[in-house]
Structure 1
């Protein structure tokens, strides 16, 4: 089976998924594009039926090698990789952030740029901090809109965390692929004005989780909820599901949750399940990366935070 990650670059320590080519810090946009293997453009091709009748949909393709990326609607306008990187240029020039990782998935169908903000980390409890990132992701196959969103990453275990999605301002910004999408991206720069406020809103939820201890019965129920087996008695849980449940419970009590002010709290509970999503669930590292940023693991990450907050609020 071909790798999900086609090519990528990263700055600093090897990312949690262990993928990519290391580059120097303070890399510029042009060098980052080349290092990430994204120095190619997307074109559009008209389509027709086997009988030669034109259809309204078109195919997207890589101009560098002619490979087809997807089939899109008549109003679809590609956002070129260079334009996606250029969105960060004003912030790079101002010293607000630095490009951290970038690359493509599924032979170029999906691309992303992750930039780390040059702002102080958010401390959840003593010795447990969260770094601040912005993720810009885009699909060239028409399956997802252009998205710009905040991404907290826990330093102690390099887990990608969920934002507090009950705050509507913190949700990923989705921009449709139209001729105005490039202009829309320029307007999205306004998010930088309140970015620390948004991150701190999420950090406050994390701190709340760290202030609430769980009971064993509740953590068992939490994991069952996340696995979709709430209400199932232990004797009726299938062996494979039981093994996954035990694996998650072990992570909740594991070494990455061993700090005195973390162990036994709902912050440990959420991070235990989050660690499962980041490192365990999925066949390979690149499959986990794809799912966490673009698929089901990302949805589960959000749900895990929301459910942890529900349980903690009931304490």
Structure 2
């Protein structure tokens, strides 16, 4: 018979050792410079391909690591809340929700964690005990926390977060814009703002009547690695697909470098691109044309072969990947054809759905697969392939 007290003591000893092992492994990563403690069991990854991501360790009553709560690349506000504002529950329930949204920029700035300025400071270095300045380089810094965001050139001029809101107001010609979402990524190095346009886009109004919700989003970068960018982002709620691709005579995006003249250039964007109206007008026309173009399964497979060609001397592994991709695309296409018929439109929905929900993504340790896919869609990781697919399918409409 096993002594209960002995068993309990052994179990307790195992638990204590487990806590020690986990703490030792965590401390090892800190000592190697792979993690930076932020306080309160929050850590920032400082190396590898998930560098800059932040996560929080949750513990059970015994002090053991119970799980890792990813901040999903989102920053946190001063009171510890996730830095995200949304008009409806988004990003899996994270963020500060205002049902129905708000037109108040200051309210969104506060709730989303975007209420900080960015300045540039000299790049200094220590040379044999003397502090010197690198005159051609500066650092971007948050004025609220003093955190460095990136290294930039001397001509770099920060575009402030508020400017992104004002840009979208000017783009749609209204100061009464209802803000859809806004948030801070990677400690403030990247921020985003989006609005939903009032008119829902209807594809093939006399036929399938498929709905697409039109959004316009701004992505601003404070690290010096990317431009201030505005993108149109059609969203199909039925399958949560981001239908973002180039169409004829219209732009999907516009960007400008961070310079002293940037503000003036931003003000020209609406007149130059007219993206919020012209894009969706052409989008609906071309999508309706695809919805009225019949497409047999073997022709769909030819389209896939053109988009993802397989070399004659491909390795066994590549052939396996190719076959698996074709099987998945065929399944998604079959689902789409049941809803909208065997058409080029169904084919495009299948390809878009595959890219958004099925293609392989390298998932950072601090993010879930689903959130990695959401970030990829936001940043347009597959826009080029979606554009290629759209153009290839539009060729079928001209036969």
Q: Same fold (TM over 0.5)?
A: yes
> Do residues 25 (structure 1) and 100 (structure 2) align?
yes
State the structure with more CA Rg. 2
- C-alpha change, 1:34 and 1:258, in structure 2 (3 Å) is farther
Q: Does the 8 Å CA contact 1:44/1:58 hold for their aligned counterparts?
A: yes
State the match for 1:4 in structure 2: 73
> Do residues 274 (structure 1) and 352 (structure 2) align?
yes
Shift of 1:53: 5.2
Q: Distance in 2 between matches of 1:181 and 1:171?
A: 20
- C-alpha change, 1:20 and 1:165, in structure 2 (3 Å) is farther
Shift of 1:104: 2.5
Shift of 1:235: 7.5
Could you tell me which of 329, 334, 345 is aligned with 1:253? 334
Could you tell me which of 104, 111, 119 is aligned with 2:191? 111
> Do residues 126 (structure 1) and 208 (structure 2) align?
yes
- C-alpha change, 1:70 and 1:193, in structure 2 (3 Å) is closer
Q: Distance in 1 between matches of 2:242 and 2:193?
A: 15
State the match for 2:140 in structure 1: 60
Report Cα offsets for 1:219-260 as digits up to 9, x if no partner.
223223333537678988432343233222211222x5532x
Shift of 1:177: 1.0
Q: Does the 8 Å CA contact 1:122/1:200 hold for their aligned counterparts?
A: no
Q: Distance in 2 between matches of 1:249 and 1:48?
A: 57
State the match for 1:141 in structure 2: 223
Shift of 1:163: 4.0
Higher relative contact order (CA 8 A, sep 6+): 1
State the match for 2:31 in structure 1: none
Q: Distance in 2 between matches of 1:263 and 1:151?
A: 25
Structure 1: 5+ residue stretches without partners: none
Could you tell me which of 321, 325, 331 is aligned with 1:244? 325
Q: Does the 8 Å CA contact 1:49/1:55 hold for their aligned counterparts?
A: no
The count of aligned residue pairs is 307
SS in 2 for 1:296: coil
Shift of 1:178: 0.9
Shift of 1:70: 1.6
Kindly report the root-mean-square deviation, in angstroms, between the aligned alpha carbons of the 2 structures. 2.9
Normalising to structure 1: TM-score of the pair?
A: 0.84
Deviates more, 1:183-192 or 1:273-282: 183-192
Q: Distance in 1 between matches of 2:267 and 2:73?
A: 30
Q: Distance in 2 between matches of 1:64 and 1:228?
A: 51
Normalising to structure 2: TM-score of the pair?
A: 0.68
Shift of 1:78: 0.8
